[in-house]
Amino acid sequence: MTNPYKELRQLAGYTQKRFCDEFGFSKQTLISIEAGVYADLSDRMLAAITAACDSKGIAVSNLAAGYEAWRLSERQNVAPAVKGYNPVVWDEKRSPMYFFITQTTGSVQGFAKRLKVQTSTLLRYVSGEQADMPMPLREALVDCGYEYLGQLEKAQQDWVRDYV
């Protein structure tokens, strides 16, 4: 399954640069859309791809639902890597979330990419700058079927309390 937004852009014959130029998006915004980092597509995002497709006679229907289904599918593909990790390891310099990330996907950037969560959101939580688990991260872990969510969150909160 591929990202339907990206697929429609390509089908309509637009490069990323041309699409950004014509519809007023930054390259980073389009990259984030196509990576699945945004939880929802804004009205502006939907209008732009619809206009691009209309100009080529391509019908667009249920794009928001298709995008959401693609993101869920991508997260579920990661499930085997994260599902059974029990968060019992941390030290004063590195948080339980950091250990979880490095043991399951190797890096913060890799984790963010695979679970469709913004890297900056994840970094704030990993560092303890944000004490409560961000909703996009919680949703990603639920989508993966992660069974130790409450324990990970508590371990992270304890680490923030004791070391940050």
Q: Is 135 exposed, middle or buried (0-12, 13-18, 19+ CB in 10 A)?
A: exposed
Both tokens of 28, joined, read 């980073």
pLDDT tens-digit map of 49-107: 999 999 899 999 899 999 999 999 999 988 888 877 777 777 888 999 999 999 888 99
For the chain, first and last CA: distance in Å? 41
Measured CA to CA, the distance from residue 156 to residue 152 in angstroms comes to 6
Averaged pLDDT score across all residues of the chain: 92
pTM score of the predicted model: 0.84
**Maximum Cα–Cα distance across the chain:** 59
Q: Going from the N-terminus, what domains does the chain have, and what CATH number goes with each?
A: 4-61 (1.10.260.40), 77-163 (no CATH)
Query: Which residue in 116, 111, 34 sits closest to 74, CA to CA?
Result: 116
Measured CA to CA, the distance from residue 7 to residue 96 in angstroms comes to 37
Q: Which residue has the tokens 């249920």?
A: 62
Measured CA to CA, the distance from residue 20 to residue 17 in angstroms comes to 5
Provide, rounded to the nearest whole percent, the portion of the chain with pLDDT above 90: 77
What pLDDT is attached to residue 103? 87
What pLDDT is attached to residue 63? 93
The answer on pLDDT for 109 being more than 90 is yes
